[in-house]
Amino acid sequence: MTPSPFMTASCSCGSVELHASGRPIVCNICYCDDCQKGAEQIEALPNAGAVREDDGGTAYILYRKDRIACAKGTELLRRYKLKEASITNRMVASCCNSAMFVNFDRGPHWVSAYRARFHGKPPPLQFRICTKFKPESTLLSDDVPSHPGYPPALAVKLLASRVAMLLGR
Ligand SMILES: [Zn+2]
Ligand SMILES: [Zn+2]
């Protein structure tokens, strides 16, 4: 049985599609310097749309990696790294240069999917993180808690999801 809710994300031209199931680990906006640089790198590609929000943050939905998969157009995905040696990959649909998700060569058990690519009502935003790197001009909204770095509550959610994954739940 597929855990619900079932969510679909697609690139702007529709050639690449992701399927995600079950409740995501968390939904957050990251202002870290790597996310800003990564967004800049992708936004500079031909015909690419905005990856960042207007305030410089990038919105993600984090899923356990066993709960999200590329359902269509896998061969169109191209990885971008900030540095050759980095384990972090920003996966872009090369058909229309839409940023799809962030994954890792090793380590973390989650995939950070770009929230803007999802269809329907996305899960509510829970945190703004790494705000110490935000552009100086950005005034943060107080709709959800903002943290200069990584909030302990986020670490707890990540750990809990790791345990659930190990237990096969
Ligand atoms: Zn596309
Ligand atoms: Zn970040």
End-to-end CA distance of the chain: 12
- pLDDT surpasses 90 at 71: yes
Residue 1 has pLDDT above 70, yes or no: no
Prediction pTM value? 0.96
Among 102, 72, 78, 99, residue whose Cα is nearest residue 89: 102
- CA 77 to ligand 1 center in whole angstroms: 9
Report the separation in Å between the CA atom of 32 and the middle of ligand 1, taken as the mean of its atom positions: 26
> Could you tell me the distance, in angstroms and rounded to a whole number, from the CA of residue 15 to the centre of ligand 1?
5
Q: Beta partners for 88? A: 104
Residue 42's pLDDT is 98
Question: What would the pLDDT profile of 72-94 be if each residue is shown by its tens digit?
Answer: 999 999 999 999 999 999 999 99
CA of 69 to the centre of ligand 2 (A): 21
Beta strands per DSSP E along 47-148? 58-64, 68-72, 77-80, 88-93, 98-104, 110-114, 127-129
Residues with CB under 5 A from ligand 2 (ion): 30, 32, 35
